[in-house]
């Protein structure tokens, strides 16, 4: 369990040098408002535990959890972790933003943030899966990006009413069904295609696996990221029991957020005796010729050297800064900050003139500002297998 003591220990190490501000993506994206930068968050945490009349919500909830600050801090402070703990304390106090509460409550009720599990399973229609102890687990992550993309557009019209809308949905959770068909079709086609690419890659490498279809639950990423620790524990137990009841022994994940959650965070909250693997570890990739601008997902660079995958798969890449964020985590609560960060990152990658490759559905959805951006599964397939996203069955 996380508590105030964790916050005191982490924030208390800060010597106030300001180095973290030079790498924190939210600071410039928020117009250099200090409370939305790394040092500002740590400063607020120091006062927060001394003075509970301070409202640190916007500061902690606008952190994108990229951990870039940790890479430069001479005192070893992780302002991202400070923000995570801060969100957990706020959520326990009932002070989380209304939209966060809505998303968590819907996820607890429907095992999907928008109650669209059936829609999220449609990509697999017509695909034959095996009765296997190995499970392909999409966690609905690719599919949900099509909804987020649509919400981003609709926000222009209802943005000023979103808190009221969230309150209404919290009171009437079944009303969330109005969102069922509110997704970006082009994005859904691409995301479905990427999942199909992954299935093909696994099958071509002789991997046998099952899939839960519309029974597949969302992994609970938002619940954890938004700070709802008690709810997350309950949710993790539910998912673990579901996998047990299906006889699962090994779980193939397809995105960094689900991989991180299942492999490193679930075991802290529940019994979780499953082998968790990343799909690229199961496919015998060979070197792909050609240059690409590779965008490394923050959540992969936390736990292992993603550049090892890159150097195993690609001849040359132009990855410049593995800790640079796509802005995705702010999409829900701070869309302007998210857009500013993603615009900057896209421009950096675009300047290379090379095709841009992502390995995370959230990164893809935020960076896909033109057709130069693609998911790594397409590149893996295109070299010799040649299947384009969205065109197979
Ligand atoms: S770099 Fe570390 S010590 Fe310096 S201000 Fe940031 S958190 Fe504090
Ligand atoms: S984790 Fe990233 S966004 Fe959060 S304070 Fe650190 S550098 Fe800034």
Q: Which residue has the tokens 């137990």?
A: 237
Q: Which two tokens stand for residue 210?
A: 């099952």
Assess contact for 326 and 363: CB atoms under 8 A: yes
Assess contact for 127 and 198: CB atoms under 8 A: no
Q: Which ligand is nearest to the CA of 46?
A: 1
Q: Which ligand is nearest to the CA of 326?
A: 2
Tell which atom from ligand 2 comes closest to the C-alpha of 20. Answer: 7
- Class of residue 9 by CB neighbours under 10 A (exposed 0-12, middle 13-18, buried 19+): exposed
Cα 155 to ligand 1 centre (Å)? 35
Contacts of 366 (CB under 8 A, 6+ apart): 326, 327, 328, 331, 338, 342, 345
Distance between CA atoms of 297 and 66, rounded to whole angstroms? 9
The per-residue pLDDT for 49 is 65
User: Residue 174 — very low, low, confident or very high, per pLDDT cuts 50/70/90?
Assistant: very high
3-state secondary structure of 135: strand
Q: Which ligand is nearest to the CA of 87?
A: 2
Angstrom CA distances, 106 to 3, 113, 163, 176, stand at 25, 5, 15, 8
- Identify the CATH number of the domain defined by range 284-382: 3.40.50
- Class of residue 126 by CB neighbours under 10 A (exposed 0-12, middle 13-18, buried 19+): exposed
pLDDT tens-digit series, residues 61-72: 999 999 999 989
pLDDT tens-digit series, residues 357-386: 999 999 999 999 999 999 999 988 876 443
| Ligand 2 contact via 64 beta carbon (within 6 Å) | yes
pLDDT tens-digit series, residues 45-63: 988 766 666 679 999 999 9
Tell which atom from ligand 2 comes closest to the C-alpha of 38. Answer: 5
Residues β-bridged to residue 253: 137, 278
Distance between CA atoms of 53 and 384, rounded to whole angstroms? 61
User: Residue 287 — very low, low, confident or very high, per pLDDT cuts 50/70/90?
Assistant: confident
User: Residue 181 — very low, low, confident or very high, per pLDDT cuts 50/70/90?
Assistant: confident
| Ligand 2 contact via 77 beta carbon (within 6 Å) | no
Residues β-bridged to residue 252: 136, 277
Angle between helices 162-171 and 98-110 (to 10 degrees): 30
| Ligand 1 contact via 12 beta carbon (within 6 Å) | no
- Residue ranges of domains in the chain: 4-92, 98-281, 284-382
Contacts of 386 (CB under 8 A, 6+ apart): none
| Ligand 1 contact via 68 beta carbon (within 6 Å) | no
Assess contact for 146 and 82: CB atoms under 8 A: no
């Amino acid at each position: 369990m996380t508590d105030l003591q964790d916050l005191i220990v982490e924030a208390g190490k800060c010597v106030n040098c300001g180095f973290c501000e030079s790498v924190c993506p939210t600071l410039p994206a928020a117009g250099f408002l200090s409370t939305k930068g790394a040092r500002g968050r740590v400063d607020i945490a120091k006062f927060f535990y001394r003075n509970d009349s301070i409202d640190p919500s916007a500061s902690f909830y606008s952190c994108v959890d990229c951990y870039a600050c940790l890479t430069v801090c001479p005192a070893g402070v992780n302002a991202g972790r400070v923000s995570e703990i801060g969100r957990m304390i706020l959520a326990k106090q009932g002070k989380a933003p209304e939209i966060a509460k809505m998303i968590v409550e819907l996820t607890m009720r429907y095992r999907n943030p928008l109650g669209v599990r059936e829609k999220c399973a449609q990509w697999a229609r017509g695909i034959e899966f095996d009765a296997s102890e190995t499970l392909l687990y999409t966690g609905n992550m690719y599919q949900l990006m099509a909804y987020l993309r649509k919400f981003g557009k609709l926000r222009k019209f209802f943005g000023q009413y979103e808190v009221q809308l969230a309150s209404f949905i919290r009171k009437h959770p079944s009303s969330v069904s109005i969102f069922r068909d509110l997704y970006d079709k082009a994005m859904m086609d691409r995301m479905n295609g990427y999942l199909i690419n992954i299935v093909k890659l696994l099958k071509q490498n002789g991997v046998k696996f099952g899939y839960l279809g519309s029974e597949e639950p969302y992994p609970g990423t938002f619940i954890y990221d938004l700070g709802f620790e008690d709810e997350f524990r309950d949710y993790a137990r539910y998912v673990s029991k579901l996998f047990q009841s299906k006889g699962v022994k090994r779980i193939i994940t397809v995105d960094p957020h689900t991989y991180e959650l299942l492999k490193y965070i679930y075991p802290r909250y529940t019994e979780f005796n499953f082998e968790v693997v990343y799909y690229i570890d199961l496919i015998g990739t060979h070197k792909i010729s050609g240059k690409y601008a590779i965008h490394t997902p923050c959540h992969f660079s936390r736990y292992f050297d993603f550049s090892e995958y890159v150097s195993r798969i690609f001849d040359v890449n132009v990855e410049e800064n593995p800790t640079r964020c796509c802005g995705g985590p702010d999409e829900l609560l701070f869309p302007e900050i998210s857009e500013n960060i993603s615009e900057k990152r896209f421009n950096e990658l675009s300047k290379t003139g090379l095709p841009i490759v992502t390995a995370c559905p959230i990164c893809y959805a935020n960076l896909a500002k033109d057709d130069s951006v693609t998911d790594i599964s397409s590149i893996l397939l295109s070299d010799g297998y040649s299947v384009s996203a969205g065109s197979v069955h």
